[in-house]
Amino acid sequence: MASLANRRSLMVLYSDKTSPIGHAVRIVLAEKDVNVEINYVDENDKPEVLNELNPYNTILTLIDRDLVLYDAQIMMEYLDERFPHPPLTPVDPVSRAGNRQLRYRVMKDLYSAIEDLESENDIAAANAKKVLRDNLTSIAPAFANTSYFMSEDYTLVDCCIAPLMWRLTRYGIKLPLSGKPLQQYADRLFERDAFKASLSKVEEEYHEG
């Protein structure tokens, strides 16, 4: 595995074209302006080299010379430490732990609904849609007082939320009027140059027309 990774002098990311968590990693790469080769992979046509590098047979894989990472949160934290400017996590340990906890909650409360939402089980999809809409609506007031999620600084938490907000139309989710602060926050995220650069061709089409 190490020999395969060592052949590469450029950072490489394997990602599919639509996964929100893969999109989050691509946002971090774009924010850091990392020179990276992004290979978009289809689940049914994974290259053999990826199967050799990733023992869990998942697509999302980041390679930096002899380092191979498979977990999105580890990837994002590694990139923030590897490329410290601009910083995407707080400096002090307490705030950094709080940021990590917020990301855990985003994954637990929001991302956990995605698999059911995209399933062919209509009941499970409807329930997941309601869970995601209700959870997003419940946090909307937090965005009335800060520019970003619980902070005036753009952080990894925002990198995680942006892909979900970009996909709401695709998921058939419309926020109630009380969710307006959250939608305004999302619009600020979408205007970032890094966010625009992070989109795959498929993701760009989510908001066309």
Band of pLDDT at residue 2, cut at 50, 70 and 90: very low
What does the pLDDT read at residue 18? Answer: 92
In the chain, what are the domains? Answer: 2-82 (3.40.30.10), 93-192 (1.20.1050.10)
What does the pLDDT read at residue 49? Answer: 87
Q: Which residue has the higher pLDDT, 17 or 44?
A: 17
42-52 pLDDT per residue, tens: 888 888 888 88
Band of pLDDT at residue 4, cut at 50, 70 and 90: very low
Mean pLDDT of 99-127: 90
Percent of the chain clearing pLDDT 90 (strictly above)? 74
Q: Which residue has the higher pLDDT, 68 or 118?
A: 68
Q: What does the chain look like in DSSP terms, one character per residue? A: -HHHHHT-SSEEEEE-SS-HHHHHHHHHHHHTT--EEEEE--GGG--HHHHHH-TT--S-EEEETTEEE--HHHHHHHHHHHS-SS--S-SSHHHHHHHHHHHHHIIIIIGGGHHHHTSS-HHHHHHHHHHHHHHHHHHGGGGGS-SBTTBSS--HHHHHHHHHHHTHHHHT----GGGHHHHHHHHHHHTSHHHHHH--HHHHGGG--
169-180 pLDDT per residue, tens: 999 999 999 999
